[in-house]
Structure 1
Amino acid sequence: MRVLLTTVGSRGDVEPVVGLALALRELGAEVRVCAPPDEDFAALMARVGVPLVPLGPTVRSVVGGSQPPTMEDAFRLARELVAARFDTLGAAAEGCDVLLAAGLMPAGARDVAEKLGIRYVFACFQVFGLPSRHFPPGTWPGKRSPGDGTGKRVLWEQDAQRLNALYGEALNSHRSAIGLPPVDSVREHVFTDRPWLAADETLCPSQGMTDLDVVQTGAWILPDDRPLPDGLAAFLDAGAPPVYVGFGSMAALAPRDIGRVAIEAVRAQGRRVVLARGWAGLVPIDGADDCFVVGEVNQQALFGRVAAVVHHGGAGTTTTAARAGVPQVVLPQIADQPYWAARVAELGIGSAHDGPTPTFDSLSAALTPALTPATRARAKSVAGTIRTDGATVAAKLLLDGAGRDRPSRSA
């Protein structure tokens, strides 16, 4: 069977898809991935031998500047991505049996599958963004919703209208060009009524959380057996477990002075620091030997050797830390990150920082309970419930055509 996977977004949107690609290949499928041509992503796929078909602009060119993208940038990117999907996916999907789309609103993917007469699956990595009676929608560029007092049903209707304004014209224009009728709701069209949820059930339960009939496969985890760099390994061996601080693909959105604030707060706890440079380009605040800077590194190996993980609350980092049984301190910035912060706190496996911008005092207040023996014990306990077979579950569903059936807990 030939499978085409596509995603757009940060590392947290790409790595799970590569994990699924690897699981599919291990089951005998021919698979390729259409994703942004960032060097980080190309290196990730090269590491496991999965072909990358470049799709759209690099993510760094969009979010890696000193200022967040403007509303005009967002509308322009939406049009560009719709066009790129019709073009790139249209060619890459020839001869495929199924097309699975994830990441930033993949408008255009289902339409290519429809034109070619192949199966289409939409997958997401969290319930955030799926219509729900329990929580309001996130923020898309466009007309703002009224403040407090507006019911959730109305807010979700307005969310659908914003998505239509963002993607609808471009989507229907391209559909018309290939002989397909227009769609009324971009969101309903892209999501379908049975989206897949590639998230762990303990960390992100879907039962009753969305109005859609979700197929939850578990998180798609890409195994990583790379050794830690010699310098990092020596640093870890030289003392008590340090605290990891990293904000992944957050660049312009990373809190101002987060490096300085985090290092000072961690030092005040009597701990050393492993500082992840990330897209924000974090650097040490002095030449002291209690701070070690890392670039791209095997987090699966590293997190098991640290005292706590301070991060932005991406789905991938949250899941990796939870698997490692290490306490977390989450400083959520955008999108689904507040959701993951809340889950970490609810599960008792760490702290959720109040707001996106920490001070020394506020981060210290979040670190103190996270570094207690009780929180570490709770994190170790929850780690035992995190499933690691989600990518295999999803791969089997794709290959046997059983996407309409829910995977059993023993799948």
Structure 2
Amino acid sequence: MRVLLSTYGTRGDVDPLVALAIQLRALGAEVRMCTPPDDEFTERLAGLGIDSVPVGPPIRTLMRGTPPSPAELSRYRTELVDTQFDVLPSAADGCDALVVAGLAQVAARSVAEAVGISYVYVTYSAVNLPSPHHAPPPRPGWPEPADADNKTRWDRDARRVDEQFRAPLNGHRAALGLPPVAGVRDHVYSDRPWLAADPVLGPWPDSHDLEVVQTGAWTTVDERPLPADLVAFLAAGPPPVYVGFGSISPAPDIARWAVEVSRARGYRVLVSRGWADLDLIDGQDDCFAIGDVNHQRLFRELAAVIHHGGAGTTQTAARAGVPQVVVPIRLADNPYWAGQVAARQVGAALDGPTATIESLTAAFETALAPGTRERAKALGAEIRTDGATVAARLLLDRLG
């Protein structure tokens, strides 16, 4: 049995598929993965012995520097569809199933149809799937209406996806001898998408519009020890506050404000450099900068986590039972996870673009309150860790 896994995105998009790949191999399946060609992905897969196939331009290049204009984003999206149709058919050769994560995988279902293999679409957040219970997530380069109900906004979202992708998708489908697709988004999602999110932290709302298979979040145990200098910093004083924004460049001044607010209340600070290359604001010894470290180990040692609202970071902090302050930019599922943290009262959420040092201070006070920490610990005990195993078994059962 051989499975092709495919995604295009940052580490938060790739890591869950790596977790699934590990579980599939443990059950005897062979796995191949399509990811962006960034060295950190290809080298990690090589270290795990997983065949990798690069697709599209390096994602880190797109995420750094000046954000692409709407016209540039439109061109990138069309070029990515063309690249997928070039690469995926050979990558899928000899495979029994194609599992894809993210709307960017526009070509994948057509390729699966053409070569006659099973297709599974997965998302990491309920907000990415159409439902009357929530609005669609913000999509880069597309305006976000604020004056419409959820159904109207999802209808508008579908039209925008069609405007971007329907012509190039159907052109490729015609070349493969496949009939045209009327609605691109729902075609990509399929009529039975999988949701790889924790059912306590990010449940699928009751809805008859889609039959969603919720497996739990796809994670793997990180066995890496923490660096010696970080261990020494942690041991030298009380639990610090973590400030990090992953692959996202935070709104101006947010990282500096987070350090200042933490210090003003007597907390030491860990600054995670991330893809934005954040750095210390001065040379005081109550702050320490870190690179890529084991968050599963680290977060258990912290007073609070200030972050951007990525699915993986939110899940890891919740599992560690640590309070969170989520400061998202208006992008993808970040605002959704900020809302989930606030709704469960395990932290506080801000709107990154409108945040001020005063609103960040208030959010910090909420997160550090004793009741918040108690609720965070209680939630951490409920978070499941078997999502990738559940998904691997479901997939192999489906295949025979």
TM-score normalised according to structure 2 size: 0.96
Give, as a single letter, the amino acid of the residue that structure 2 aligns with 1:280.
A
Distance of aligned partners of 1:146 and 1:13 in 2 relative to their CA distance in 1, 3 Å threshold: closer
Deviation, 1:402, is 7.0
The answer for the alignment partner of 2:73 in structure 1 is 74
Matches within 5 A, 1:6-405: 6-65=6-65, 67-140=66-139, 144=143, 147-148=146-147, 150-208=148-206, 211-251=209-249, 254-333=250-329, 334-401=331-398
How far is the alpha carbon of 1:210 from its aligned partner?
Answer: 7.2
How many angstroms does 1:231 deviate by?
A: 0.6
Amino acid paired to 2:232: A
Instruction: For 2:262, give the aligned amino acid.
Output: V
Task: Name the SS for the 2:238 alignment partner.
Answer: coil
1:110-169 alpha-carbon deviations (Å, 9 max, x no partner): 011000000000000011121111222233467757652x33322222111100111111
| Paired letter, 2:323 | P
Give the 3 Å change call, closer, same or farther, for CA 378–142 of structure 1 in structure 2. Answer: closer
Contact 1:8 1:104 in 2 (8 A): no
Secondary structure of 2:178's counterpart equals: coil
> What's the TM-score, normalizing by structure 1?
0.93
SS of the residue corresponding to residue 353 of structure 2 reads coil
Bigger shift: residues 236-245 or 255-264:
255-264
- Give ranges in structure 2 of 5+ residues lacking alignment: none
Distance 1:393 1:145 in 2: 35
One-letter identity of the residue aligned with 2:114: K
The one-letter code matched in structure 2 to 1:20 is L
Aligned equivalents of 1:373, 1:46: Cα separation in 2: 44
Q: Figure out how many residues of one structure are paired with residues of the other and give that number.
A: 399
Write the letter of the residue equivalent to 2:25: R
Deviation at residue 32 of structure 1 after TM alignment? 1.1
In structure 2, relative to structure 1, the CA distance for the partners of 1:336 and 1:142 (3 Å cut) is closer
1:170 CA drift (Å): 1.2
Report the CA distance between 1:354 and its aligned residue: 4.2
How far 1:282 sits from its partner (Å)? 0.5
Evaluate the alpha carbon distance shift between residue 220 and residue 256 of structure 1 in structure 2; reply closer, same or farther with a 3 A threshold. Answer: same
Amino acid corresponding to residue 23 of structure 2 in structure 1: A
Unpaired runs of 5+ residues, structure 1, are 404-411
Matched-pair contact (CA < 8 Å) for 1:313–1:330 = yes
Identity %: 56
Q: CA deviation at 1:371?
A: 1.3
- Which residue identity does 2:80 align to in structure 1? L
Where do 4+ consecutive residues of structure 1 move more than 3 Å? 139-147, 354-358
Aligned residues of 1:304 and 1:326 also touching (Cα < 8 A): yes
Q: 1:350–1:370: 8 Å Cα contact kept in structure 2?
A: yes
**Does the Cα contact within 8 Å between 2:73 and 2:141 map onto a contact in 1?**
no
Q: Say which SS state the counterpart of residue 383 (structure 2) adopts.
A: coil
For 2:86, the aligned partner's letter is: D
Say whether the 8 Å CA contact 2:139–2:332 is kept in structure 1.
Answer: no
Contact 1:86–1:108 under 8 Å retained in 2: yes
What SS does the corresponding residue of 1:22 show, helix, strand or coil?
helix
Per-residue CA deviations over 1:234-258 (Å, capped at 9, x if unaligned) read 100111000000000103xx11122
Moved more, 271-280 or 346-355: 346-355
Partner of 1:409: none
1:320-345 CA distances to partner (integer Å, 9 max, x unpaired)?
00011111000011221111111111
Q: Distance in 2 between matches of 1:27 and 1:356?
A: 45
Change in Cα spacing, 1:47 to 1:241, as seen in structure 2 (3 Å) is farther
> Could you say if the C-alpha distance between residues 144 and 240 of structure 1 is closer, same or farther in structure 2, counting changes exceeding 3 Å?
closer
Distance 2:208 2:260 in 1: 41
User: What letter is aligned with 1:376?
Assistant: R
Whole-Å separation in 1 of the counterparts to 2:332 and 2:207: 17
Q: Do the aligned partners of residues 383 and 141 (structure 1) sit closer, same or farther apart at CA in structure 2, a change above 3 Å counting?
A: closer
Contact 1:195 1:213 in 2 (8 A): yes
Cα distance in 2 for partners of 1:104, 1:237 equals 43
Residue 382 of structure 2 aligns with an amino acid whose one-letter code is T
